[in-house]
Amino acid sequence: MDRYAVIGNPVSHSRSPQIHAAFASATAQDMDYGRLLAPLDGFAQVVAEFRAGGGRGANVTVPFKEAAFSLSAILSERARAAGAVNTLRFDAEGLFGDNTDGAGLVADLRKNLQVALTGKRILLVGAGGAARGVLQPLVAERPALLVITNRSDQKARTLASVAGGPVIARRFEDIQGEAFNIVINATSASLAGEVPPLPTGLFLPGALAYDMMYARDDTPFMAWARAQRAARITDGLGMLVEQAAESFFIWRGICPDTAPVLAMLRAAS
Ligand code: NDP
């Protein structure tokens, strides 16, 4: 049986094993997918041991995506652009590193939520690993404007300066008076029960508020967006399933059907 795992710290909350078990069962793949908790200073060792023990590949989550990038002998273009790796495949030539977060977000927006991105005004809140992973795939959809805003303003400006296209950086207070079709929360603020200090009036009529975090109930950002009368509000569960499907394809060469798995997770939560 081929073995895969998600490596993170913490990792016990991860729903990836459930998702990949469903994909494997639907596509008749003989594989096992578990969770590996790595010490904060022990990511490379956990990868090496898993590989030596017969592992074929892994997903990488907080806080190891940059460490996975450094460890990869071969990088996909999108991993290189993101500077972060969330999918490792253990090839004979060495570790192949890819980043499926951006493809996962775009697939969730376009396919599951039926949201077109071309010509739209997008606000991306956050400049960490997740924001870096989704930036280029969002730009490739040709939005009219993509504003990055982040608590540490310099990180947003650095990201915008290398992004090209219609990407600019603004401080939280400087987006007062601007409005958007899509506002994406790519911060981890919801994990701490917080909402970034965004100005009011950000949502255009029909706008979508998207929190990359997922939870049984509204996240703090989703509750805030509801109070702001955003027309559509969603969490990041669809992104999680779509990025997993991309990883599954990288490992197994098969595109699993995501809709039943997303429906199963929604029903279970
Ligand atoms: P990082 O640690 O790399 O980045 C965290 C980001 O959040 C930074 O921009 C940081 O700002 C900002 N931030 C943290 N706390 C606050 C706060 N209290 N107020 C304002 N900003 C804050 O994390 P990731 O980018 O890897 O992950 C971000 C989120 O996206 C997580 O919740 C993660 O679970 C989720 N995610 C979901 C995925 C999915 O498939 N649904 C996939 C990947 C990520 P600063 O730079 O100032 O520190």
pLDDT for residue 197 is more than 80: yes
Q: Domain 2-99+238-268 maps to which CATH number in 3.40.50.261, 3.40.1390.10, 3.40.50.10860, 3.20.20.220?
A: 3.40.50.10860
Q: What are phi and psi of 96, to 5 degrees?
A: -100, 125
- The β-bridge partners of 184 are 124, 210
| pLDDT tens sequence across 121-144 | 999 999 988 999 999 999 999 999
Average pLDDT over residues 199-216: 96
Q: How far is the CA of 150 from the centre of ligand 1 (A)?
A: 10
Answer whether 231's CB lies under 8 Å from 220's CB: no
Provide the token pair at 31.
């594989």
Query: Active site includes 65?
Result: yes
**What is the CB < 6 Å shell around ligand 1?**
62, 101, 104, 126-131, 150-152, 155, 186-189, 191-192, 194, 196, 212-214, 236, 239-240, 243
Q: In the structure, what pLDDT confidence band is assigned to residue 168 with cuts at 50, 70 and 90?
A: very high
Q: What is the CATH number of domain 102-235?
A: 3.40.50.720
Q: Where in the chain is the domain with CATH 3.40.50.10860?
A: 2-99+238-268
Which residues belong to CATH 3.40.50.720 in the chain? 102-235
Q: What is the reported pTM? A: 0.96
- The pLDDT tens digits for 58-117 are 999 989 999 999 999 999 999 999 999 999 999 999 999 999 999 999 999 999 999 999
- Catalytic residue (choose from 65, 111, 120, 155): 65
The rounded percent of the chain whose pLDDT value lies above 90 is 94
Residue bearing tokens 């400087």: 174
State how far the Cα of 66 lies from the Cα of 83, in Å rounded to an integer.
7
